[in-house]
Amino acid sequence: MTAGKVIAITGASRGIGSGLVAELATRGHTIGCLSRKGVGPEDRDIEGDLLNFACDMEDEGQIVAAFQGLSEQAGRIDVLINNAGLHLEGVSAELAKADFEKILATNITGPFLACREVRPHMVANGGGLIINIGSFFERLGAKRNLAYSCSKAAIGALTRTLAVEWAHEKIRLINLAPGFVKTDLNAEYMTHESFRNFIQRRIPTGDAAEVNEIARLTALLVAEDLPSLTGETIFIDGGQSINL
């Protein structure tokens, strides 16, 4: 095992998740890669100390088993990054109950369970850090994104509540809320002229974020011991959500 921290990352297979794995593994941390398939990052080759676990965020049993397995193999868990998420767009008046509940199950119930399961391991270590990957949609009225926006607003509330409850155990929580981020999953859509025009009009910095921006900010939060930084939401959206 490396001399770095042991970090559990959910949704580690692609997109922001695999970018987090790559950045943090490069910095010498041991990474527990939690994903539905349990095979680790699928969209890039990553060297480092990676431990792969099957973890469907809708399956409580898999969540429990993944954290227990990581703790047993790595010896401890220092950091949890709740990155796994599901996005479903549609007209709110036509949104099926099952679809709404599926988004909430993956985006807020799963992260809550992950926080609950990692807590005893962090208590045993004398503290730890939980970074929840939220979204700037938590403070927008984004059409056709009701379930997703509700789930990300709930992530902010989860972060604040647990930060207060667990502060005496030296467990800190941060809600990292990106705006639009370029990934392999949305690359084609982001090349459309209409979307490019929208980006240039709405984002003061003029472009969507790169995955490595999210990863490098996350790595900074992991590296620095900042006891007073807890319960906060950090937006990284190029100023879009404050642009009137």
Q: Which residues are catalytic?
A: 148
228: helix, coil or strand?
Answer: coil
Rg (CA), the chain: 17
Exposed e or buried b per residue across 145-178, where buried means at least 16 C-beta atoms within 10 angstroms of its C-beta: bbbbbbbbbbbbebbbebbeebeeeebbbbbbbb
Gap between the Cα atoms of 208 and 202, Å rounded? 10
The CA distance from 179 to 225, in Å, is: 26
Give alpha helix (H) positions in the chain: 15-26, 60-74, 97-104, 110-125, 146-166, 193-202, 211-223
In which region does residue 51 sit, left (phi positive, over 0), alpha (psi from -120 to 50) or beta (all else)?
A: beta
For 133, the token pair is: 């990957």
What CA–CA distance (Å, rounded) separates 212 from 183?
A: 10
User: How far is residue 152's CA from residue 144's CA, in Å, rounded to a whole number?
Assistant: 14
